[in-house]
Amino acid sequence: MKTNRKSDLAKREERTAYKLLLPALIILLLIAIYPLGQVFYTSFTDRQFASGQETEFIGFDNYRRLLSVTVQQLEPLVDEETNQIVIDEETAKVIYERPIDVLPREPIRYREYRQFNLMGNRYVLGATDVDFIDAIKNTLVFTVTSVFLELVLGLGIALVVNSNFKGKGVTRTAMLIPWAVITVVSARMWEWMLAPNRTGMFNMLLDRFGLTEGSIAFLASSSFQLPAMIAVDVWKTTPFMALLLLAGLQTIPDELYEAAAIDGAGPVKQFFSITFPLLKPAMAVALIFRTLDALRVFDVFQVLLGQSEYSMATYNYFQLIGNRNMGLASAIGVIIFIIIFGFAIIYIKSLGVEMDETS
């Protein structure tokens, strides 16, 4: 009788649990799991938005179009009469044949991405979708650089705020302000500070210190675009990094430092033998969060660079909304997913993070 009652209770508890889980699971199924399946499936089709055209299954064509790269050697041009290599008279450099002549056109046309020299030969790197290859490169450079800078600056700020001084509370409060600014808003704030003449804060300062003429087009010239994106992101997210690291620092007991000081260890030694190793778990988690976040960067790129330079996410948006090419956009989504997944695996393996707190 007693066991029966108990199993009744257990059954009732189980039923309640399922009922309570149902809303969350239905929502996640509708907005995440089903669309994810849809994206995987659509990535193998040529589906277009709002077109009468029949959708066809095209296998890996979208992926091939996005990711195909080739390296071709460029031959120096030879003068037909003298049989000598043609040299540019002004620059005294060897003239090579045009990349368009060597890059394959079938089945998909390759375009020039970069030229480079290796072992005395000239090569051209061609890609079928130069913009996407560029978007991957931009995103990776952006991610690695900004996350690294955020870690260094965040650690510096966290160490400063963790020491005892008057105004500690105010500083910690100030740290939250960049975090609270909407990303789009911070992008536009920086857009104005980066204005290409002396109405902009940066050009005004550079001019005042006599470093430049004060007319750098930070957002239009290709050598400043990525650094500008990184600067905006670092400003906005360093506080988040600092907060996570600060929380980690506060878990390190003071006794350890006291003991180390008695043993004659200086601040530098204390940092590397106590702070750094004990902060590693917090750093690992902060790094994972920030890296995965940076890999899907959208807001700053979309607002500040639009279609002049892409991140993976803004290229996805452009193909979906601008080109209405749903198949291709889906394939981009899948590629982003795989890249992010890859990073997550690498992190978890190499840092030995224990993500599971439950038993």
Radius of gyration of the chain (CA): 27
Tell me if 346 contacts other proteins by CB under 8 A. no
CB of 59 to other proteins, least distance (A): 18
Say whether residue 289 binds other proteins (CB under 8 A): yes
The angle subtended at Cα 299 by Cα 295 and Cα 302, nearest 5°, is 105
> Per rule CB under 8 A, is residue 38 in the interface with other proteins?
yes
- The least CB distance from residue 109 to other proteins, in Å, is 24
* 204 contacts other proteins (rule: CB under 8 A): yes
* Residue 133 found at the interface with other proteins (CB under 8 A): no
Helices (H), the chain: 2-28, 34-42, 61-67, 99-102, 130-162, 168-180, 183-193, 201-208, 222-249, 254-262, 267-270, 276-295, 299-304, 312-317, 326-351
Retrieve residue 349's tokens: 């393996």
Q: Kindly tell me which of 148 and 317 has the beta carbon lying closer to other proteins.
A: 317
Among 317, 334, 339, 318, residue whose Cα is nearest residue 36: 334
User: For 112, phi and psi rounded to 5 degrees?
Assistant: -70, 130
Among 62, 146, 186, 275, binds other proteins (CB under 8 A): 186
Residue 108 binds other proteins (CB under 8 A): no
In the region spanning residues 208 to 227, those forming contacts with other proteins, defined by CB under 8 A, are: 208, 214
63 binds other proteins (CB under 8 A): no
Nearer to other proteins, 115 or 173 (CB): 173
Using the contact rule CB under 8 A, the part of the chain among 59-67, 86-94, 113-121, 312-320 near other proteins is 312-320
Q: Which stretch binds other proteins (CB under 8 A): 129-137, 140-148, 268-276, 315-323?
A: 315-323
Closest distance between other proteins and the C-beta of residue 36, in Å? Answer: 5
Q: In this complex, which beta carbon is closest to other proteins, that of residue 157 or of residue 226? A: 157
- Stretch 137-176 residues interacting with other proteins (CB under 8 A): 157, 160, 163, 165, 167, 171-176
Alpha-carbon distance values, 268 to 153, 159, 164 (Å): 17, 12, 18
Bridge-based pairing of strands 111-118 and 69-74 is unpaired
C-beta of residue 332 within 8 angstroms of C-beta of residue 153: no
